[in-house]
Chain A
Amino acid sequence: MKSLVSEITLKVGRINPQYVRLTWILLALSMMALGIGAPADGGGGIPR
């Protein structure tokens, strides 16, 4: 168990912080895109 935890910690530690930052940016901008605009563009909630 200890070795598994340390292995995961090691792998997570190897993730480049730039990738983490980029992921957060994409997530934030995607939430903004969904939140601000395109209210009825074929997404959920349109009566069929």
Chain B
Amino acid sequence: MILLLAVIAGLLAGAARAWIKRRNYQPIQLRYIWLIVIAFLPQWLAFFLPVTRRVIPSWLASLSLILSLVLMLVFILLNFSINRFGFLILGLGLGLNLLVIASNGGLMPISPENASRLTPQIPAETWKSGNRFGKTKDVILATEETNFLPLSDCFISPDWLHYRFVFSLGDILVAIGIFWVLWEPGGDDMVVDQRSSTKDMIHKPGS
């Protein structure tokens, strides 16, 4: 959920940039959006929808995750030319997550220590290596058993932040990529097509 903040922040920053530059905010034209919907569907069933995630076994959940990430990577490649830097960073983040997930059995590894920090009310010894972390996309793996450890969910939000979450290096890149994709259209130098532009989308100051 924390990555959704990147979507909100990117949109607000892009709109602010357009306003400062006295331009219209021109959202990019993504292609094959239906592919994202199809890609997200298996994950939605395996990890998000409570009714289905209870009954879907871990092997199927991990298969869904990998299939979903591969389809998302295809989507990024198909849209790469629209915003090269944004989609490069986004694709790199996805690729790193996919690498660590695929090389650790199909789920994102998390150490028992980080798992217990996320769930302080559950005894730390509950988290045995190899078990799935609840019904999330994570699997408990000791650090010595984790392939590509620096790419796993090894970062945790600081203690002073009330909301605890873990994240990976790939997640950071994904957040930057999403932010960039939404921020960049706010300052584009492209010629505005008067027929399709929204003059009222971002009001120019003083107009």
Chain A residues engaging chain B, CB cutoff 8 angstroms: 16-19, 21-22, 24-48
User: Given A41-B1, A45-B136, A48-B121: A33 and B174 within 8 A (CB)?
Assistant: yes
- Does B104 sit at the interface, judged by CB under 8 A? no
A37 touches B7 (CB 8 A): no
How many residues in B have their beta carbons less than 8 Å from beta carbons of A?
A: 62
Taking the closest CB of chain A, its distance from the CB of B62, in whole angstroms, is 12
Find B36's partner among A32, A37, A41, A48 (CB 8 Å cutoff): A32
A40 touches B68 (CB 8 A): no
B4 touches A37 (CB 8 A): no
Chain B residues engaging chain A, CB cutoff 8 angstroms: 1-4, 6-7, 10-11, 26-30, 33, 36-37, 39-40, 43, 47-48, 50, 53, 68-69, 72, 75, 90, 93-94, 97, 108, 110, 118-119, 121-122, 133-138, 153, 163-168, 170-171, 174-175, 178, 181-182, 196-198, 200-201
User: Given A34-B3, A35-B72: A18 and B133 within 8 A (CB)?
Assistant: no
B119 touches A48 (CB 8 A): yes
B165 touches A28 (CB 8 A): no
Taking the closest CB of chain A, its distance from the CB of B66, in whole angstroms, is 12
Closest 3 CB pairs of A and B: A41-B165, A39-B137, A45-B135
**Which residues of B sit under 8 angstroms from A29, Cβ to Cβ?**
7, 10, 178, 181-182
User: Given A25-B27, A32-B174, A46-B134: A40 and B196 within 8 A (CB)?
Assistant: no
**Which residues of A sit under 8 angstroms from B135, Cβ to Cβ?**
44-45
Give Cα A40 to B29, complex, Å.
31
**Which residues of B sit under 8 angstroms from A46, Cβ to Cβ?**
118-119, 133-134, 136
A47 touches B163 (CB 8 A): no
